[in-house]
Amino acid sequence: MYTRAVALTNCWRTPGPGRQYARMRSTVLALVALSLVSACKRGNKDRPGADQPKAGLLVGLVTDVGGRGDQSFNDSALRGLESWAASSKFQSGSYTRLTAAERSATIPAELAARITPIEVKPLVVQSKAQEDYQPNLQLLVDQGASLAIGTGFMLENAVEAVARANPGSKFLLIDSPVLDTKGQPISLPNVRTVVFKEEEGSFLVGALAGLVAKDKVGFVGGMEIPLIKKFEAGFRAGVKTTNPKASVLVQYTGSFDNVQAGKQVTADLLDKGCEVIFHAAGSDGNGVIQAVKEARAAGRGVFVIGVDSDQAHLAPDAVLTSMVKRVDLAVWQAIADLAAGTFGNGDLRMGLKEGGVAMAPVTLDFPDKAKVLEQVDALRSRIVAGQITVPANQAQLDSFTPN
């Protein structure tokens, strides 16, 4: 610290042309000093080999940069591994056993019978930056993990590289197939991939929105990319099925990290008379929910539909339901297959039938609630039975006719 202080003080004494460099150097030093302080404090909570329950197979998981506590994608994957499979919870640096009651509280009712505990030992490594993915996955392999899980499409490259380098290890990649350099899906002998049929879940919440709203519903997307268009197509098809007269107003915020943008576009949709708004906009969605919450506080009977995980806790009186992606189920299923010796490679697509997407429980009250939910459930059964094919893009939506 002393030398740094000297460097800092020197910069206003150094005469002549050297001064410019000294100034810049001192600023950089100050920055380094500050970041060192925060780096020291951070510690490594998820350090491998931390206190874990004694159990059989070692199952490793690498989070994406969202990390533990994102209340969404990563937390869902961690739930599948830690709570559902290993019956443990991660608290202040180590794992403790969950009681049976605590464990079952994390499992939705419809899956309660299916999700059994599996004797595995979790090993979680968090990623702080994109560059961490590959070394983190390799670390899991080096620690002897029987299965290494990559959470999120951002880990696609890393999973591919590490899987090729370690043909003897098994991998699970969530939310993306393995892609070759041209972007075409390929399959590797030791990688299972899982993607979700978001359009099917979006269809259901769209059907619900169509029944709850009279003539206008809204959709707020983040960036206008194929994945989000899938949500939009399914949602529009759902609204069209239950309320063909309703118009769907669509907004894209162009980002996934801008709360204010989400709130602004939602204020506009509410102004134009939308009664139910579905968002697929990442963090922008916090702004969407906030805008609807404020409109309700101002006395308007409007609702918002959340995405990825059950977002009801963000605004219990405004969130009608959420389109849930069951990442936890995909993770648990892979571990169950591993334990049973049936884990194989391949690309799974999990829709309503497989339980990969679902509509979160509806706790709010609205007119004719029981009848409406019955209708939505009937649609669900028809999708599961294959009687309705839900459109996943604009072209399919154009040729979609409700029957």
Partner 1 sequence: MGELLRSLVSSVLDAAPPLIFAALGATLSERSGVVNVGVEGMMRAGAFVAAVAALAMPTPLAVVVGMAAGALVASVHAVLTIRLRCDQVVSGMAINLVMLALGTFLLEALFSSPSSTPPITQLPGWAGHPVTTWLAFALPVLVHLALTRTAWGLRVRAAGEKPQAVAVMGVRVGWLRAGAVLASGALAGLGGAVLSTATLDRFEHHMPTGLGFMAVAAMVFGRWTPLGATAAAVFFAFGDALRISLGSSAPGLMPQGVLLALPYLLTLVVLAVSGQRSAAPAALGVAWDPEVR
Cβ proximity to partner 1, 8 vs 111, nearer residue:
8
Full 3-state SS string of 186-231: ECCCCEEEEEECHHHHHHHHHHHHHHHCCCEEEEEECCCCHHHHHH
Binding span for partner 1 by CB under 8 A among 37-45, 48-56, 154-162, 237-245: 37-45
Interface residue with partner 1 among 110, 224, 374, 377 (CB under 8 A) is: 224
- Please tell me the distance from the alpha carbon of residue 323 to that of residue 352, in angstroms, as a whole number: 11
Amino acid at 237: A
Residue 312 beta carbon to partner 1: minimum distance, rounded to whole angstroms: 14
| Tokens of residue 193, six digits | 């991939």
Find all residues with CB under 8 Å of 151, minimum gap 6, and list them.
61, 62, 63, 64, 73, 74, 77, 174, 175, 327
- Give the nearer residue to partner 1 in terms of CB position, either 38 or 399: 38
**In the window 301-340, what residues touch partner 1 (CB under 8 A)?**
none
Name which of 11 and 85 has its Cβ closer to partner 1: 11
Among 272, 300, 349, 371, indicate the residue that binds partner 1 (CB under 8 A).
Answer: 272
Mask of contacts with partner 1, 53-92, x by CB under 8 A? Answer: -------------xxxxxxx--------------------
Report the residue number, 70 or 347, with the smaller CB distance to partner 1: 70
Q: What are the residues facing 124 on neighbouring strands?
A: 61
Which of 99-107, 110-118, 265-273, 345-353 is the region at the interface with partner 1 (rule: CB under 8 A)? 265-273
The CA-to-CA distance between both ends of the chain, in Å, stands at: 73
- Residues in binding contact with partner 1, number by CB under 8 A: 51
Q: Which of 268, 296, 337, 353 binds partner 1 (CB under 8 A)?
A: 268
Q: By CB under 8 A, name the one of 51, 180, 271, 398 that touches partner 1.
A: 271
Distances (CA, A) of 18 to 24, 27, 55, 105: 10, 15, 62, 65
Kindly tell me which residue out of 94, 99, 187, 260 binds partner 1, with binding defined by CB under 8 A.
Answer: 260
With contacts defined by CB under 8 A, name the span among 46-54, 109-117, 247-255, 348-356 that binds partner 1: 247-255
Cα–Cα distance measured from residue 385 to residue 388, given in angstroms and rounded to the nearest whole number:
8
* Residue 227 in the binding site for partner 1 (CB under 8 A): no
Is 62 or 191 the residue whose CB approaches partner 1 more closely? 62
Kindly give, in sequence order, each residue whose CB lies less than 8 Å from that of residue 98, ignoring residues fewer than 6 positions away: 83, 87, 88, 89, 106
Under 8 Å CB-to-CB from 122, ≥6 apart: which residues?
Answer: 52, 59, 60, 61, 81, 82, 85, 86, 88, 95
Q: Beta strands 247-252 and 216-221: pairing type?
A: parallel
Contacts with partner 1 in 117-146 (CB under 8 A)?
none
Instruction: Write out the H or E segment, with its range, that includes residue 323.
Output: strand 319-325
Binding site for partner 1 (CB under 8 A): 8-9, 11-12, 19-20, 23-24, 26-28, 30-31, 34-35, 38, 41-42, 66-72, 218, 224, 249-252, 254-255, 257-261, 263-265, 267-269, 271-272, 283, 286-287, 290, 298
